[in-house]
Amino acid sequence: MKRCSLGIWLIFLGFIFGPILAWGAQPASLAGHWAGTIDIPGMKLAIDLDFTQNQDGSWKGDISIPAQKAVDLPLANISVEGRLVSFEIIGVPGKPTFKGEISQDGQVISGEFTQSGRTFPFTLKRTVSPAKKAKQSLEALPQVVEKGLKGLKVPGVALAVVKGQEVIFARGFGWRDVDKKLPMTPDTLLAIGSATKAFTTFTLGTLVDEGRVEWEKPVRFYIPWFRLYDTFATLHLTPRDLVTHRSGLPRHDLVWYNNHSASREEFVRRLAYLQPSADLRTKFQYNNLMFLTAGYLIEVLTGQTWEEAVRERVLKPLEMTRTNFSVLDSQKDSDFAQPYRQAKGKIKKIPFRIITNMGPAGSINSSVNEMTHWLMVHLNGGKYKGKTIIKPQTLQDMHLAHMPTGTTPSIPEITPADYGLGWFIDTYRGHQRVHHGGNIDGFSAMVWLMPQDGLGFVALANKSGTALPELIIRHAADLILGLAPRDWVGQAIERKTKGEKEQEKAEKKKQSRRQPGTRPAHKLEEYAGLYHHPGYGDLKVFLKEGQLYFKFNGIVTPLEHWHYETFNALRAEDPTFVDMKLTFRTNVDGLVAAVEAPFEPTIEPIVFTKKPAQQFFEPEFLKKFVGRYKLLEQVVTVSLKGNRLTVATPGQPEYELVPVLGGEFALKQVKTIHVKFILDKAGQVTGVAFIQPNGIFEAKKIK
pLDDT digits (tens, 9 = 90+) for 246-300: 999 999 999 999 999 999 999 999 999 999 999 999 999 999 999 999 999 999 9
CATH assignment of the domain containing 555: 2.40.128.50
605 and 624 share a domain?
Answer: no
163 and 253 share a domain?
Answer: yes
Question: Which residue(s) pair with 596 in the sheet?
Answer: 583, 607
Q: Does any domain span residue 512?
A: no
Query: For the chain, how many structural domains are there in total?
Result: 4
**In Å, how far are 27, 50, 306, 415 from 53, measured between CA atoms?**
9, 10, 46, 45
619 and 607 share a domain?
Answer: no
- Lowest mean pLDDT: which of 154-163, 168-177, 510-519? 510-519
**Mean pLDDT of the region 406-413:** 87
Q: Does any domain span residue 503?
A: no
Domain boundary among 104, 127, 150: 127
- Would the pLDDT of 502 be above 90? no
Q: Does any domain span residue 509?
A: no
- Would the pLDDT of 527 be above 70? yes
CATH assignment of the domain containing 350: 3.40.710.10
445 and 539 share a domain?
Answer: no
Query: For residue 26, what pLDDT band results from cuts at 50, 70 and 90?
Result: very low
Q: Does any domain span residue 92?
A: yes
Q: Is residue 423 within 8 Å of 436, Cβ to Cβ?
A: yes
**In Å, how far are 257, 643, 689, 690 from 653, measured between CA atoms?**
46, 19, 19, 16
247 and 319 share a domain?
Answer: yes
- Would the pLDDT of 647 be above 70? yes
Q: For 11, what's the count of Cα atoms within 13 Å in the CB-facing half-sphere?
A: 7
- Would the pLDDT of 424 be above 50? yes
- Would the pLDDT of 462 be above 50? yes
pLDDT digits (tens, 9 = 90+) for 61-90: 998 888 877 777 888 999 999 999 999 977
595 and 619 share a domain?
Answer: no
444 and 580 share a domain?
Answer: no
**In Å, how far are 258, 632, 648, 655 from 637, measured between CA atoms?**
47, 14, 5, 11
Q: What is the pLDDT of residue 191?
A: 98
Sign of CA dihedral 237, 239, 245, 251: positive
Collapse the DSSP code of 701 into the 3-class scheme (helix H, G, I; strand E, B; otherwise coil) and give the result.
strand
Average pLDDT, the chain: 93
Q: What is the pLDDT of residue 508?
A: 77
**Mean pLDDT of the region 375-390:** 96
CATH assignment of the domain containing 11: 2.40.128.120
- Would the pLDDT of 10 be above 50? no
**Mean pLDDT of the region 292-318:** 98
Q: What is the pLDDT of residue 410?
A: 80
Domain boundary among 445, 475, 495: 495
Q: What are phi and psi of 247, to 5 degrees?
A: -75, -20
581 and 619 share a domain?
Answer: no
602 and 620 share a domain?
Answer: no
| Cα distance between residue 369 and residue 548, in whole Å | 48
Q: Does any domain span residue 98?
A: yes
- Lowest mean pLDDT: which of 89-93, 240-244, 525-529, 610-614? 89-93
Containing structural domain, residue 115: 6-127
- Would the pLDDT of 681 be above 50? yes
Domain boundary among 585, 611, 637: 611
Q: Does any domain span residue 134?
A: no
**Mean pLDDT of the region 570-597:** 96
**Mean pLDDT of the region 612-624:** 95
315 and 455 share a domain?
Answer: yes
| Range from 14-28, 298-312, 640-654 that averages highest in pLDDT | 298-312
Helix 468-481 and helix 488-509, axial crossing angle in degrees, nearest 10: 160
- Would the pLDDT of 592 be above 50? yes
Q: Which residue has the higher pLDDT, 57 or 373?
A: 373
Q: What is the pLDDT of residue 8?
A: 37
Q: What is the pLDDT of residue 99?
A: 94
Q: For 36, what's the count of Cα atoms within 13 Å in the CB-facing half-sphere?
A: 22
- Lowest mean pLDDT: which of 91-105, 446-460, 680-694? 91-105
- Would the pLDDT of 93 be above 80? no
Query: For residue 553, what pLDDT band results from cuts at 50, 70 and 90?
Result: very high
Q: What is the pLDDT of residue 295?
A: 98
Q: Does any domain span residue 597?
A: yes
Q: What is the pLDDT of residue 13?
A: 43
630 and 696 share a domain?
Answer: yes
Q: Does any domain span residue 132?
A: no
424 and 350 share a domain?
Answer: yes
